[in-house]
Amino acid sequence: MNSILDSRPDLKSRIDAVAEVAGYLWSKGWAERNGGNITVNITECVDARMEALTSLMPPLPIGRVLPHLKGCWFYCKGTGKRMRDLARYPMQNGSIIRIAPDCASYEIVADLPVLPTSELPSHLSVHNYLTGKGLPYKASLHTHPIELVALTHDRKWMEKDAATRMLWSMIPETRAFCPRGLGMVPYMLPSSQELAQATLEELSRGYDVVMWEKHGVFAVDTDIMNAFDQVDVLNKSAQIYIAARNMGFEPEGMTDCQMDELARVFNLPRQKA
């Protein structure tokens, strides 16, 4: 079967990276059944032949108007599709969509009429915000990392920046590679516009990784591998915290002085209050 990826090495390499990350999500146990979703802004890979493609089905509503996405293209995981399947067959378990000129609907253009993820409101609202701000972020990842989700079942870690401080202090890499910390969104219905709005608000406060209470994490970055890495380092810290608690003690954590030194030497954003 012909694919839009044929003879488009730049586009293919981005979809290959999505497939690679999907495999990691499955092997980490973060992607039960159809759990999690990925979207990538691929607009810079679009050529004239792609522009001429016609929609595989009538346009579908986004549910809100997203003016900064006019003419943008995305690869989206399909709703109900499994990460473990996407890892092998990304174009059968996801599709390429184009935002319509009205900025309120989208068309599925390739390879197959696979309906995008149910979390499209959150993904597209976030891409609209990032594009509008002129930020270089192109990828958004939602996944269900076990230990991070477990933390959100305790009110204490849902307090603003409480989890960030604890996770940063478990191992220096976490602050170095997730320097903006972790925003917190209280439980909201999956795939809802309210969840999309709350995620957007945390992003506008300066976070690029956001926890959805008792559900999962939502991360944005320049590409999908970097988005995955941010979640991976955060979850590693959560595992270290839990391992220490399982050994019967509260982990000491790095001191404020050690954290300040790290921020100074690596030129990281200032410590959260």
CB closer to Zn ion, 133 vs 214: 214
Residues in the chain: 273
Helix (H) or strand (E) segment spanning residue 76 = strand 73-77
Could you give the CA distance from residue 43 to residue 140 in angstroms, rounded to a whole number? 14
60, β-bridge pairs? 106
78 binds Zn ion (CB under 5 A): no
**Minimum distance from CB of 143 to ligand 13P (Å)?**
8
36 binds ligand 13P (CB under 6 A): yes
Closest to 270 (Cα-Cα) out of 130, 183, 156, 168: 168
Could you give the CA distance from residue 166 to residue 231 in angstroms, rounded to a whole number? 15
Task: Catalytic residue, from 119, 147, 159, 252: name it.
Answer: 119
Q: Residue with structure tokens 């900064």?
A: 68
Binding mask 59-78 for ligand 13P (x = CB under 6 A): ------------------x-
Among Zn ion, ligand 13P, none, what does residue 77 contact (CB within 5–8 Å per kind)? ligand 13P
Could you give the CA distance from residue 84 to residue 60 in angstroms, rounded to a whole number? 27
Number of residues interacting with ligand 13P: please give it, by CB under 6 A.
12
14 binds ligand 13P (CB under 6 A): no
Among 78, 94, 216, 253, binds Zn ion (CB under 5 A): 216
**Minimum distance from CB of 107 to ligand 13P (Å)?**
19
The beta strands (E) that lie in 222-265 are given as none
The beta strands (E) that lie in the chain are given as 37-41, 60-61, 73-77, 94-99, 105-110, 139-143, 182-185, 209-212, 216-221
Q: Known catalytic residue: 119?
A: yes
253 binds Zn ion (CB under 5 A): no
Among 9, 29, 71, 80, binds ligand 13P (CB under 6 A): 80
Judged by CB under 5 A, the stretch of 77-85, 148-156, 215-223, 240-248 that binds Zn ion is 215-223
Pairing of strands 182-185, 94-99: unpaired
Could you give the CA distance from residue 65 to residue 61 in angstroms, rounded to a whole number? 9
Binding mask 43-62 for ligand 13P (x = CB under 6 A): --------------------
CB closer to ligand 13P, 87 vs 170: 87
Judged by CB under 6 A, the stretch of 57-65, 85-93, 117-125, 239-247 that binds ligand 13P is 117-125
CB closer to Zn ion, 38 vs 259: 38
Could you give the CA distance from residue 120 to residue 86 in angstroms, rounded to a whole number? 17
My answer on whether omega of the bond before 111 falls inside 30° of 0, hence cis, is yes
List residues near ligand 13P by CB under 6 A. Answer: 34-37, 77, 79-80, 117-119, 142, 190
